[in-house]
Amino acid sequence: KKQGLEVSVLNRSARGLDFFQRLGCDCFMEPPKSAFDLIINATSASLHHELPLNKEILKGYFKEGKLAYDLAYGFLTPFLSLAKELEIPFQDGKDMLIYQASLSFEKFSASQIPYSKAFEVMRSVF
């Protein structure tokens, strides 16, 4: 909110929503009738080859969205497949993994690796 962003969090249960409410996020347990620029799947649904929401609800969000981002990486998830089908930009969590690896390397080795180098090395591997 400090940077003018509005963040909404949809969770299947109330557990954990208080954390996001303290950060100033709008929190929901039922899909809101809103439009979103960025739709992030942070659930384990992709690991089970499932969608995190009802397909029609998700289609509605994607039609208004500018980017679909799935934290899962390494394969085209049902979430990303739907975004592709609806022709909105999408991205998997591979870059997030690389950033985390760079930060961990820095923390545990007391030396730094530039993100550009980390991306170069990691992309050559997978």
**Model confidence, pTM:** 0.84
Q: Where are the domains of the chain?
A: 94-126
Cα gap 9→31, rounded to integer Å: 9
- Residue 113 is predicted with a pLDDT of 78
Q: What is the pLDDT of residues 17-29, one digit of tens each?
A: 999 999 999 999 9
Q: What is the pLDDT of residues 42-74, one digit of tens each?
A: 999 999 999 999 999 999 999 989 999 999 999
Mean pLDDT, residues 75-88:
97
Q: What is the DSSP letter of 115?
A: H
Backbone angles phi, psi at 65, to 5 degrees: -80, 160
Six-digit token string for 101: 């690896």
CB atoms within 10 A of CB 72: 20
- Residue 28 is predicted with a pLDDT of 94
Helix (H, G, I), strand (E, B) or coil at 68: strand
Name the one residue in this structure whose structure tokens are 């545990």: 108
Spatial contact of 63 and 34, defined as CB atoms under 8 Å apart: no
